[in-house]
Amino acid sequence: MIRDSLAPSLRERFPDVPLTYRDASQPFARLTCPCTELGDLEIHDDGDEATVSLTKITHNHFNPYKQMPDADRDAWVTDAVLDPLDALFDNRLRVYCSSDRRQAGSQRHDTPIDR
């Protein structure tokens, strides 16, 4: 299971981030965001991929889209999820959406974004 690889990596990489973890339900990790316009950060283990959501804005699927052993896939997904979370928690991720919330996306930056 992806959560078996991802949850320990999240705890190690982001020890000061108050993520809540669940053993048996989805999402398996959740962060109540201080910015209500974004919604909460949720991480789902969908079997062959992980889905990371900002519940009021957008979500992203992390899947290598090729056949590989489960352990290799889980490691690939873990690394792929950690990269944008690094940017998010370092203020290097700009999230945007249309006024009707039908289109959304994000843009990573090399340096922190000045608000």
Q: Does any domain span residue 93?
A: yes
In this predicted structure, what is the pLDDT of residue 10? 96
Angle, CA 107 vertex, CA 78 and CA 60 arms, to 5°: 40
Q: Does any domain span residue 100?
A: yes
| Phi-psi label, residue 61: left if phi above 0, alpha if psi -120 to 50, beta otherwise | beta
Instruction: Say how far residue 102 (Cα) sits from the centre of its chain.
Output: 20
pTM for the model stands at: 0.89
Q: What is the mean pLDDT of residues 91-107?
A: 86
Contact (Cβ atoms closer than 8 angstroms) between residue 25 and residue 19: no
In this predicted structure, what is the pLDDT of residue 115? 67
Which residue range is the domain that position 46 belongs to?
2-105
Q: Does any domain span residue 113?
A: no
pLDDT tens digits, 30-72: 999 888 888 999 999 999 999 999 998 889 999 999 899 999 9
Q: Does any domain span residue 90?
A: yes
Q: How many domains does the chain have?
A: 1
Q: Does any domain span residue 96?
A: yes
In this predicted structure, what is the pLDDT of residue 40? 94
Q: Does any domain span residue 41?
A: yes
CA atoms within 13 A on the CB side of 10: 25
**Spatial separation of the C-alpha atoms in residues 29 and 108, rounded to whole Å:** 22
